[in-house]
Amino acid sequence: MYKINLFLIVFSLFITSYIFAQILPSYPERSVTDSTYIQTSVTQVSEGAIEPDFYIVGPGDKIFISISGIEEAVYNLMINQEGYLYIPKVGGVDLRNKTLAEAKSIILTRLQKSYKNVEYFISLSDFRKIRVSLVGDVKKPSTYIVTSNSRLIDLLKMSYGLTVTSDFRNIKINSKDGSKNNYDYLSFLRLGDFSQNPFLKDGDVIIIDRINKMITINGLVKYPAHYEFKENETLASIINLAGGLLFNARKDSIELIRFAEDSKTQFSKYYTYDYIQNNLIPLFNGDQVLVRELPEFFIPQYVTINGKVRYPGFYKIIKDKTKLTEIIKEAGGFLEDASLADATLSRTDVETKKDPEFERIKLIPRADMTDDEYDYYKSKSRQRSGKVVTDFEKLFKENILSEDIILRTGDEINVPEKKNYITLIGQVVNPGNIIYQPGLKVEDYIQLAGGFSWRALENDVRVVKVNTGEWIDSDDIDQLEPGDTIWILENPPGPKFWSVFTTSLSVLGQVAAVIAATVAVIIATR
């Protein structure tokens, strides 16, 4: 029994994977197939005033009749199961297969024969219930009771839902009068075409087919996707169904890819959008439509300037022409407190690739790194992605034009405020910022900060350079620059007495145990 159940499970999985291996339509309206909304009957609702020329009356509909003269006669009558309406003092009226407009005309004609010099008011006062069937590729084929003003969408919403393989664009409705019609449900959902969302009639059989044939439209349309193939569809209609072309679509060469008669070889035909709109170009199963993008169309060309310029913000550039000096001039130039030494140009569109070596080293504990690995790790950590190497001081103070970079869209120019101070951190009495004074050395700034604190490691003072972030021993620094940071490391505290005492006792205990064991061995061997 267990083997049989296992076989059935594997077989069902195989069948499911086989079914879903086929390419299925991918447009967003198909999410309706995931609906869990279930209703066994539909309540009476209205989408507005009934259109008398389209609504077909039938058994169960209620007709309101008012005859106003010397006295008013009011009737609320129901069409019987044979399709007749009986009016008191008038007789029966045949309303079979009549629209509401035709029924009202027939009733009025009969009333005028029996009543003279009176006013008439005739209207539909209540809907009848009808029975329709939903069959085919649906989750639960069944018969449903709906009101006579229900449309196709009402039935599909109240049913147990469609499947992922249901064909939305080739829904068949067979009626009791022998008529058979096809409807494109997607055209109603996408375009609001009510002709593709018909009123249902008593006894209608709605047949949902399984997807068999498809076409594809890709590229610059609003809804690129796989679509069910529909007979007699044209290239213009599928583009319209896909939402039309986007503003940056190329209209001079829309490509139609088609299979040859051998169903293996493909060939292409090209059409302009105007030709497509004015000519009927039929589509066939397996066709693919490609709408390409206009090159370099509506691509904004701008850079951003932040910081100490007169007018920071966004600036338009001319591709491959606008230079750094030109855009700084347009921004009003630098302010007095601008730091050209710290100004940077960053390129945001630089392709960033992961460095596998850096990713590997990041996972290694520091103690397990080699010196080369640690140096590489530090260098990569300091690296600024997208930074363009250019010297603002040489360009704007010394007028060295080789530093004048041609800008690209998305570039960011940052001009920070001058850092007219040296920062001291770590083990000094008063850490913080001290105004920069040319000529002062590291030791001078430490003295200005109150000197070393009592736990300072005085022989290990480092300087963090403002531009690179590099750590340099203070002995190797000849001249400090504004913005540099002096870092005084902490001398780690020695071990506490109790810790030393307990460790010593532990060691002495182990030594005593070894001596005792040795003495015991010597005595035993005598």
Mind listing the pLDDT tens digit for each residue in 264-292? 899 999 999 999 999 999 999 999 999 99
Inter-residue contact 427 to 489 (CB < 8 Å): yes
The predicted structure's pLDDT at residue 219 = 94
The residues with which 225 forms a beta bridge, in sequence order, are 217
SS3 57: coil
The predicted structure's pLDDT at residue 280 = 94
The predicted structure's pLDDT at residue 36 = 43
Inter-residue contact 196 to 183 (CB < 8 Å): yes
pLDDT tier for residue 360 given thresholds of 50, 70 and 90: confident
Residue 346 has pLDDT above 60, yes or no: yes
The predicted structure's pLDDT at residue 14 = 41
pLDDT tier for residue 45 given thresholds of 50, 70 and 90: low
Gap between the Cα atoms of 474 and 446, Å rounded? 11
Question: Which is more confidently placed, 493 or 205?
Answer: 205
Per-residue pLDDT of 163-181, as tens digits, reads 889 999 999 999 988 999 9
Burial class, 255, CB count within 10 angstroms (exposed 0-12 / middle 13-18 / buried 19+): middle
Model-level pTM? Answer: 0.58
Residues 6+ away with beta carbon under 8 Å from 34: 161
The residues with which 309 forms a beta bridge, in sequence order, are 334
The predicted structure's pLDDT at residue 32 = 55
Residue 47 has pLDDT above 80, yes or no: no
Q: Which tokens in the block code for residue 513?
A: 């145990």
Residue 406 has pLDDT above 60, yes or no: yes
Residue 479 has pLDDT above 50, yes or no: yes
Q: What percent of the chain has pLDDT over 70?
A: 87
Q: Which long-range contacts (CB under 8 A, 24 or more apart) does 333-337 make?
A: 333/309, 334/308, 334/309, 334/310, 334/396, 334/415, 335/308, 335/309, 335/310, 337/308, 337/417, 337/418
Gap between the Cα atoms of 210 and 457, Å rounded? 81
The predicted structure's pLDDT at residue 10 = 41
Taking residues 230-254, what's their average pLDDT? Answer: 94
Average pLDDT of the chain is 84
Residue 187 has pLDDT above 90, yes or no: yes
DSSP annotation of 211 reads: P
SS3 438: coil
Handedness of CA 478, 480, 484, 486 (dihedral sign): positive
Residue 1 has pLDDT above 90, yes or no: no
Taking residues 425-444, what's their average pLDDT? Answer: 87
The predicted structure's pLDDT at residue 159 = 80
The predicted structure's pLDDT at residue 12 = 43
Question: Comparing 167-176, 213-222, 463-472, which segment has the lowest mean pLDDT?
Answer: 463-472
Residue 33 has pLDDT above 70, yes or no: no
The predicted structure's pLDDT at residue 5 = 47
264 φ/ψ sector (left φ>0, alpha ψ -120 to 50, else beta): alpha
The predicted structure's pLDDT at residue 507 = 72
Q: Which tokens in the block code for residue 130?
A: 């009808």
Taking residues 501-523, what's their average pLDDT? Answer: 72
Residue 22 has pLDDT above 70, yes or no: no
Q: How many CA atoms lie within 13 A of 283 on its CB side?
A: 26
The predicted structure's pLDDT at residue 20 = 43
Gap between the Cα atoms of 483 and 464, Å rounded? 9
Q: What percent of the chain has pLDDT over 90?
A: 38
In terms of Cα–Cα distance, which of 283, 27, 20, 289 is closest to 168? 27
DSSP calls for 230-241 = -TT-BHHHHHHH
Task: Report the C-alpha dihedral over residues 428, 431, 433, 438, rounded to 10 degrees.
Answer: 0
The predicted structure's pLDDT at residue 498 = 60
pLDDT tier for residue 496 given thresholds of 50, 70 and 90: low
In terms of Cα–Cα distance, which of 302, 190, 297, 191 is closest to 247? 297
Inter-residue contact 488 to 456 (CB < 8 Å): yes
